[in-house]
């Protein structure tokens, strides 16, 4: 791997003499992430490779595709948003598959550390407002420069979730209640249709003691209602126990919305709440989906099996949203 990477890097990074410390950070059936250092006379340059290895199949249906991800990351970077610089888009002669190499940004993505460690204590109170401004910047990226992306509406999203839930053939009255609630309150197509990151939450945000440093993972990017991103980051599953701080367990909706509106965009709180309910159900359906892949697919791991037993977490959160009990 280091030999291939070294040859690739030499073709576009003048002075580079090779790579060192290549380590696979994550690897699924269709996508891998590697971290490595480019060896350079001026000092090592930290880099990340995200790729579909040669011979891997087409990306899953909802995925934007690695080429589109690279374009989006570079667009965000050029717009001054916290986003890694794209160093290289893989070419066939690289023999590394398809994907891209980006500058590595140091920081933390693990929610429990961001929410508990002392080094992030000063960052936490400002994160919600900061992320509001960042996501407003994402929604403001010029439509004319965007790659081709799927277009989603709330109506399509409800139908997708319902189809997936029904395919499990396992009755869940709470999910039925949520689907009904969503259908009854479907706000219809949004007046503003923008780029939507699609997975704007812990795990995809690099945080430092100074605040947000990068937004990662554009795999689920699409065109749609910008309020979806604001609702998704409020889903209780991303609060990691800090349930009274709706934005990622570190801030309030008001702070998130204030940051968003300071950047010159408008918040529709009703739509945000609608997408929070949708997002809670979506994570629940995803948990059930992982159980299915454990049972039928190649990934017969305990972790996947146990995620199936997390779908009940979204059921209690849906009940807290839709049928709160008298206090």
Single residue of 44, 143, 243, 299 touching other proteins by CB under 8 A: 243
Task: Determine if 316 is a binding residue for other proteins (CB under 8 A).
Answer: yes
Neighbours of 179 (CB within 10 A): 20
Rounded distance between C-alpha atoms, residue 258 and residue 251, angstroms:
12
Part in contact with other proteins (CB under 8 A); list of ranges 77-85, 114-122, 139-147, 304-312 = 304-312
Residue burial 248-270, b: 16+ Cβ < 10 Å; e: rest = bbbbebebbbbbbeeeebebbee
Which residue blocks in 151-301 are alpha helix, DSSP H? 154-168, 173-185, 227-232, 253-262, 269-296
The site that binds other proteins (CB under 8 A) totals a number of residues, namely 31
Task: Determine if 180 is a binding residue for other proteins (CB under 8 A).
Answer: yes
Inter-residue contact 283 to 235 (CB < 8 Å): yes
Task: Determine if 62 is a binding residue for other proteins (CB under 8 A).
Answer: no
State the nearest-atom distance from the C-beta of 97 to other proteins, in Å.
24
Nearer to other proteins, 76 or 291 (CB): 291
Nearer to other proteins, 18 or 308 (CB): 308
Inter-residue contact 115 to 124 (CB < 8 Å): yes
Q: What is the 3-state secondary structure (H, E, C) of 94-146?
A: HCCCEEEEEECCCCECCHHHHHHCHHHCCCHHHHHHHHHHHHHHHHCCCHHHC
Task: Determine if 121 is a binding residue for other proteins (CB under 8 A).
Answer: no
Task: Determine if 323 is a binding residue for other proteins (CB under 8 A).
Answer: yes
Task: Determine if 239 is a binding residue for other proteins (CB under 8 A).
Answer: yes
Query: Site mask, other proteins, residues 160-179, x = CB under 8 A?
Result: -----------xxxx-xx-x
Angle between helices 253-262 and 124-139 in degrees, nearest 10: 50
Task: Determine if 102 is a binding residue for other proteins (CB under 8 A).
Answer: no
Task: Determine if 313 is a binding residue for other proteins (CB under 8 A).
Answer: yes
Residue in 136, 138, 143 with CA at minimum distance from that of residue 265: 136
Task: Determine if 273 is a binding residue for other proteins (CB under 8 A).
Answer: no
Task: Determine if 312 is a binding residue for other proteins (CB under 8 A).
Answer: yes
Task: Determine if 142 is a binding residue for other proteins (CB under 8 A).
Answer: no
Task: Determine if 202 is a binding residue for other proteins (CB under 8 A).
Answer: no
Site residues for other proteins per CB under 8 A = 171-174, 176-177, 179-180, 236, 239, 241-243, 301-303, 305-306, 309-310, 312-313, 315-317, 319-320, 322-323, 325, 327
């Amino acid at each position: 791997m280091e030999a291939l990477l070294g040859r690739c890097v030499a073709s576009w990074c003048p002075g580079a003499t090779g790579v060192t410390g290549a380590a696979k950070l994550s690897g699924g059936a269709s996508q891998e992430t590697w971290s490595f250092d480019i060896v350079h006379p001026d000092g090592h340059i930290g880099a990340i490779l995200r790729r579909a290895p040669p011979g891997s199949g087409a990306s899953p249906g909802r995925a934007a595709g690695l080429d589109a991800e690279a374009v989006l990351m570079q667009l965000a970077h050029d717009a001054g948003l916290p986003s890694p610089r794209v160093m290289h888009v893989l070419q066939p002669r690289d023999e590394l598959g398809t994907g891209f190499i980006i500058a590595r940004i140091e920081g933390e993505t693990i929610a429990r550390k961001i929410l508990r460690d002392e080094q992030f204590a000063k960052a936490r109170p400002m994160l919600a407002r900061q992320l509001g401004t960042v996501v407003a910047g994402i929604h403001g990226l010029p439509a004319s420069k965007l790659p081709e992306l799927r277009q989603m509406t709330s109506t399509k999203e409800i139908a997708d979730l319902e189809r997936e839930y029904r395919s499990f053939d396992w009755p869940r009255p709470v999910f039925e209640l949520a689907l009904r609630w969503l259908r009854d309150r479907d706000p219809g197509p949004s007046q503003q249709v923008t780029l939507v990151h699609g997975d704007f939450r812990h795990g995809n945000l690099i945080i430092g003691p100074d605040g947000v440093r990068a937004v990662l993972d554009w795999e689920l990017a699409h065109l749609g209602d910008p309020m979806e991103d604001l609702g998704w980051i409020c889903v209780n599953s991303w609060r990691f126990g800090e349930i009274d701080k709706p934005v990622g367990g570190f801030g309030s909706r008001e702070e998130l919305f204030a940051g968003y509106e300071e950047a010159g965009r408008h918040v529709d709180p009703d739509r945000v709440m609608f997408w929070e309910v949708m997002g809670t159900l979506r994570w629940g359906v995803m948990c059930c989906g992982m159980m299915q892949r454990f049972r039928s697919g190649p990934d017969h791991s305990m972790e996947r099996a146990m995620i199936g037993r997390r779908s009940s977490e979204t059921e209690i959160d849906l009940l807290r949203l839709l049928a709160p009990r008298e206090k």
